[in-house]
Amino acid sequence: MMITGNKTLLISVTSALTGIIVGLAISTGLNFNTAAYSEEPKISKGSIELLSKTNHAMAEVAAAVMPAVVNISSTRTVKTQDMANPFQNDPMFKRFFGDQFGGSMHPREFKQSSLGSGVIVDKDGYVLTNNHVIKDADEIKIKLSDKREFKGKVIGTDPKTDLAVVKIEAHNLPVLKLGKSDLMKVGETVLAVGTPFGLNQTVTSGIVSAVGRADVGIADYEDFIQTDAAINPGNSGGALVNIHGELIGINTAIFSTSGGYQGIGFAIPSNMAKTVMDSLIRSGKVVRGWLGVSIQPVTADLAKQFDLKEEKGVLVGDVTEDSPAERAGIKRGDVIAEYNGTLISDPAMLRNLVAGTEPDTEVAVKLLREGKAQTVKVTIGELPASLQNVSKEYDNLLKGVQVQDLTPEIRKELNIPKHVNGVIVANIEEGSAVTGLLTRGDLLIQVNKKKIGSLKDYEKEVSAIKTGEDILLLIFRNGSTFYATVSAH
């Protein structure tokens, strides 16, 4: 139906377009050598028919997919602090203006709105979108192609892939079938559908520019499809579809120096999106596979040192004690060349494959050890919570604070004494109530006078804290320990 590796059709379309261009040039008086052409523009019937079929086919694909792409608008409350007066503690100013001079830092709140797109993936109201489209939203509104509006409920989010699933109370909805993104090849025709700048049901076309893009810096797990189909702000969470009208990617970001479209857009492949989506719907979180190795690329120098004929695979730098890799006999210095039948080209590829493997699944791993090939069977485990660097979200004053277990490596790096234990603050989201109070790298020793020795302890104590309730923290920072109160006032 469409152009997919058909050279004859490509030549025919090119010839038809040439006829139209020449015809237009003659009719507008451009300086063409008209000796070979008549005065009247000549476009063959065959060319017009061919282009008409192409136009009709593209329009059919667009019409088929647009009803399943929705507009998402979200609002969230952002808290900021007034800047403290630099003279408020000056004795001279207090003498003349009183103790109230300069005031104190009062929190201010304002509403922040954002627009994005989503894709209906289930007739009973499940919508797939980007995490950053609905992150920290107080209210989510989803507008369908038929102008109906619904409130969205977050089923689950995964910041590590920038994916989220939202549910609306509706049934018998139009759905986009998920295609197999691993079958997409560079040069294939794709359409991007979304709501850029809030403009509903916008369709752009292009080709797949590249596949397997990693190290872009957008998410922790990256395996992007790159396309030149125009993607602009508001397209995030929208659909990238193939010529069969199948979803092969969730549009996520653009590479731009101006903030607008510059010919480079990225989409999360549907294979990765399906794995994350199924896990979020099933359990509200993403369960990832774990091998237990530290890996690095194979460079030319390393290939020479390890007797490798090619710069392929990934080099194992370390093996975690009592991990699936150790139990299978994988050792430091091994080169992982193949994972469950897939050739490994770089660390990101192996990381994505392992993460997408269900725990307790047995896989074959092909190794190169001292120049000789061998295959081992590995039973993949579940990625430990301590390695995920993310604690759960809670609806209290510690919302937006992400912590992780204190590992020997972090203890050494931050020079934390052996007798001091707790959880490390890994990240603090913008607008959090602890902004200015906690910083990344702080060690939380106690929460409300309860000792915190692990991520499990932290989640147990924090989950019991009510919305708006003050929280007393014992913090270790730069060699000293101190108490701090998190308050809504």
Domain boundaries of the chain, sorted by first residue = 7-66, 67-286, 289-382, 388-486
How far are the Cα atoms of 293, 459, 483 from residue 475, in angstroms, in the given order?
32, 17, 6
Q: Fold match between 67-286 and 388-486?
A: no
Architecture in CATH for domain 289-382: Roll (2.30)
Q: In the predicted model, is pLDDT for residue 311 greater than 60? A: yes
Instruction: For 121-162, list the strands marked E by DSSP.
Output: 126-129, 139-143, 149-151, 153-158
At 307, the pLDDT band (50, 70, 90 cuts) reads confident
Which two tokens mark 284?
A: 């509200």
Q: What is the amino acid identity at position 261?
A: Y
| pLDDT at 405 > cutoff 60 | yes
- Regarding pTM above 0.85, the answer is no
pLDDT at 123 over 80: yes
pLDDT of 101 > 70? The answer is no
Q: Comparing 99 with 195, which gets the higher pLDDT?
A: 195
Name the catalytic one among 117, 181, 236, 279: 236
Selected catalytic residue, list 73, 132, 223, 279:
132
Q: Any idea which of 94-108, 141-155, 347-361 has the lowest mean pLDDT? A: 94-108
Q: How far apart are CA 396 and CA 364, in angstroms?
A: 45
pLDDT at 380: 93
Nearest C-alpha neighbor of 255 from the set 290, 308, 215, 287: 215
Alpha carbon separation from 56 to 46, 53, 131, 248 (Å, rounded): 15, 5, 35, 22
User: Per residue in 164-192, pLDDT tens?
Assistant: 999 999 989 999 999 998 898 999 989 98
Residue 132 annotated to the active site? yes
pLDDT digits (tens, 9 = 90+) for 215-257: 666 667 777 888 888 887 777 888 999 999 999 999 987 655 5
Tell me which of 3-17, 132-146, 190-204 is least confident. 3-17
Average pLDDT in the chain: 80
Domain 388-486 indexed as CATH 3.40.50.720:
no
Q: How confident is the model at residue 201 (pLDDT cuts 50, 70, 90)?
A: confident
CB 316 within 8 Å of CB 378: no
For the beta sheet containing 69-81, the strands, ordered from the edge strand earlier in sequence to the opposite edge, are 149-151, 139-143, 69-81, 107-120, 126-129, 163-167, 153-158
Q: How many CB atoms lie within 10 A of CB 52?
A: 11
Q: What are the tens digits of pLDDT across the range 337-365?
A: 999 988 988 888 898 899 888 899 999 99
Q: Is the pLDDT of residue 17 over 60?
A: no
Is residue 102 scored above 50 in pLDDT?
A: no
> What is the fold, at CATH topology level, of the domain defined by 67-286?
Thrombin, subunit H (2.40.10)
Phi, psi for residue 468 in degrees, rounded to 5: 80, -5
Choose, from 47, 74, 117, 162, the residue flagged as catalytic.
Answer: 162
Residue 177: both structure tokens together: 């079938």
Residue 286 has pLDDT above 50, yes or no: yes
Most confident of 97-106, 371-380, 381-390: 371-380
Quote the pLDDT of residue 128.
93
pLDDT band of residue 262 (cuts 50, 70, 90) is low
Active site residue 220: no
pLDDT at residue number 476: 94
> Coil, strand or helix: which one is 268?
strand
The pLDDT, as a whole number, for residue 429 is 73
**Residue 430 pLDDT > 70:** no
215 CB neighbour count, 10 Å cutoff: 9
